[in-house]
Amino acid sequence: MDYIIEMLHITKEFPGIIANDDITLQLKKGEIHALLGENGAGKSTLMSVLFGLYQPEKGVIKKEGKEVKIHNPNDANALGIGMVHQHFKLVHNFTVLQNIILGVETTKHGFLKMDEARKKVIDLSDRYGLMVDPDAIIEDITVGMQQRVEILKMLYRDNEILIFDEPTAVLTPQEIDELMKIMKNLTDEGKSILFITHKLNEIKAVADRCTVLRKGKYIGTIDVAETTKEEMSEMMVGRKISFAVEKSVSKPESEVFTVLNLIVGAKHGTKKAVNNVSFAVRKGEIVCIAGIDGNGQSELVYALTGLMPIESGQILLNGQDITKYSVRSRNNAGMSHIPEDRHKDGLVLDYNLTENLMLKKYFTPEFQKKGFIQFDVAETYAEKLIGEFDIRSGQGTKTAVRSMSGGNQQKAIVAREIDLDPEILIAVQPTRGLDVGAIEYIHKQLVAQRDEGKAVLLVSLELDEVMNVSDRILVIYEGEIVGDLNPADITVQELGLYMAGSKRSEVTV
């Protein structure tokens, strides 16, 4: 069997953790090979070893049967290996063309020769159906287009082994479909692709084979056409997972949370980040704000939760005007918030689990006596939440939160916020970067809140989550609500059109 790349018995260690433990991966010429695993399974580490960003402690890499040493990304490029990173590596105020040739410029007498480069870029763009304008400035083009620029960078360097690290994380459904077509075009032309992901639908759509990692170990390589999504997820997590979010039809009651004509300024420039937004959330329903990242969701949530000032508008909770309330006053009035950035806004990383779990309660009579915190009471309270929400950590209540896995940090926040018994729960990307097991758990918690008659406002970029968890979808585009939709009545494709701004519907409050 001819493999174009073989990574044999690779072991990569970091202090206190073996990220890759004796992993073997073999890529055939002309195939799309997926690398699947939960967060922290070691996928990106393994690809960083192949791209020369890390040196393995053990193991060898072979190209076309011959052993090679890859000390840095320049060695990788020389061997025809290119990589599109999860966070693009582009210079924002350069043009597309300048970004593509950066580092491999052709010069004559000390001057750049752009004409040949431009011709090559246009030819490559046409040949692979990338449709990129070489003169556009990076900061003016969409993320989907920026990704195509990254792909062109690899093609311009004549790379034949292409690594894609979580390439669909920031794309709309239409852009994802386009990317899948481009990947197939690339392999038709003889390129070989390694594709890191934890999205099973995408593997089913494009991959030929798939290698599964779990907790840094190699679990197996399977033929995608002959394996079900359920079997793949079980290999990835080590147990059976239910993909359907089980929930009854919602029976919304009275309005709990009302937002009227909200305007929030942008951090940069004069354009408004949130422009005249009005909506309401009722008891017993999950309303989801859906949109492509960067359309005002973060500013909207910061304004609603008191983390950012507003220019005008009103926020009502149970008829009470909380527009000018502090964060604590909003919490006391019945608002809970699972923030999008768990490290920055959700936890004090150097505090232990007990301290983080009582952050919003330590000042109440239950937890203090004559101005002193009752740590024995807090400890008992923390143990109760750890049990109820299955929060796993090395040293129980005494664990420093910094040392916990992302999924367990997230469970700690969910436990703290739900235990406040809120009237409105604002959950922002509550499953971002989590694997299928943790996602399933958090979705159940959100639905349980709804079924207890709470109002839930979910903000999500994950389309499956938007479609499966919400009872009503509000689409945000460039700071405005452009659609009020029922998930039962629309397709993912239609939702994508609203998110991309090419469709609007009348929105009523």
Tokens of 400: 């420093």
Segment 468-491 shows an average pLDDT of 93
Which pLDDT belongs to residue 480?
A: 93
Which pLDDT belongs to residue 287?
A: 96
- pTM, rounded to two decimals: 0.67
- Tell me: pLDDT of 268 over 70: no
CA distance 496 to 223: 30
Between these two residues, 359 and 437, which has the higher pLDDT value?
359
Segment 232-241 shows an average pLDDT of 83
Of 443, 449, 459, 444, nearest to 422 by C-alpha is 449
Tokens of 251: 């029976």
Segment 311-323 shows an average pLDDT of 95
- Tell me: pLDDT of 1 over 70: no
CA distance 87 to 125: 22
R_g (Cα) of the chain, nearest Å: 25
Q: How many helices (H) and strands (E) does the chain have?
A: 16, 24
CA distance 358 to 367: 9
- What DSSP state is assigned to residue 459? E
Count other Cβ atoms within 10 Å, centred on residue 61: 22
Which pLDDT belongs to residue 179?
A: 85
Give the angle 34-38-40 at the CA atoms, nearest 5°. 110
pLDDT tens string 239-248: 877 667 778 8
CA distance 413 to 409: 7
Which pLDDT belongs to residue 507?
A: 55
CA distance 489 to 247: 17
CA distance 119 to 108: 17
Percent of the chain with pLDDT over 70: 96
- Tell me: pLDDT of 159 over 80: yes
CA distance 418 to 383: 15
pLDDT tens string 341-377: 888 889 999 999 999 999 999 999 999 988 899 999 9
Which pLDDT belongs to residue 277?
A: 95
Q: What band does 233 get if pLDDT is binned at 50, 70 and 90?
A: confident
Calculate the alpha carbon distances from 422 to 315, 331, 449, 457, 492 in Å: 16, 8, 9, 12, 31
Which residues have C-beta within 8 Å of that of residue 186, sequence separation ≥ 6? Answer: 128, 151, 162, 193
- Tell me: pLDDT of 407 over 80: no
- Tell me: pLDDT of 79 over 50: yes
Q: What are the domain boundaries of the chain?
A: 3-237, 253-334+422-509, 347-421
Segment 195-207 shows an average pLDDT of 88
Which pLDDT belongs to residue 300?
A: 95
Return the CATH fold of 3-237: Rossmann fold (3.40.50)
- Tell me: pLDDT of 449 over 80: yes
Segment 220-233 shows an average pLDDT of 91
CA distance 36 to 198: 6
- Tell me: pLDDT of 314 over 60: yes
Contact 306, 325 (CB under 8 A): yes
Q: Helix crossing, 143-156 with 114-127: angle to 10°?
A: 110
Which pLDDT belongs to residue 450?
A: 95
Task: Find tokens 């004796």 and name the residue.
Answer: 22
Residue 175, Cα to own-chain centre: how many angstroms? Answer: 16
Residue 89, Cα to own-chain centre: how many angstroms? Answer: 18
- Tell me: pLDDT of 24 over 60: yes
Burial grade of 508 (CB within 10 A; 0-12, 13-18, 19 or more): exposed
Mean pLDDT of the residues in the chain: 88
Q: What is the dihedral of CA 293, 297, 299, 303, to 10 degrees?
A: -160
Burial grade of 269 (CB within 10 A; 0-12, 13-18, 19 or more): exposed
Of 136, 140, 132, nearest to 156 by C-alpha is 132
Count other Cβ atoms within 10 Å, centred on residue 204: 16
Which pLDDT belongs to residue 138?
A: 87
CA distance 334 to 395: 32
Of 241, 161, 228, 163, nearest to 200 by C-alpha is 228
Segment 428-448 shows an average pLDDT of 84
Which residues have C-beta within 8 Å of that of residue 27, sequence separation ≥ 6? Answer: 3, 4, 5, 6, 33, 161, 192, 194
| CATH (one of 3.40.190.10, 3.40.50.2000, 3.20.20.450, 3.40.50.300) for 253-334+422-509 | 3.40.50.300
Which pLDDT belongs to residue 509?
A: 46
- What DSSP state is assigned to residue 226? G
Pairing of strands 472-477, 285-290: parallel
The residues that bridge with 281 in the sheet, in sequence order, are 257
Of 379, 241, 440, 432, nearest to 387 by C-alpha is 379
Which pLDDT belongs to residue 343?
A: 83
CA distance 263 to 480: 10
Contact 433, 341 (CB under 8 A): no
Count other Cβ atoms within 10 Å, centred on residue 51: 22
Tokens of 125: 């763009």
Segment 74-100 shows an average pLDDT of 88
Task: Find tokens 């359309």 and name the residue.
Answer: 295
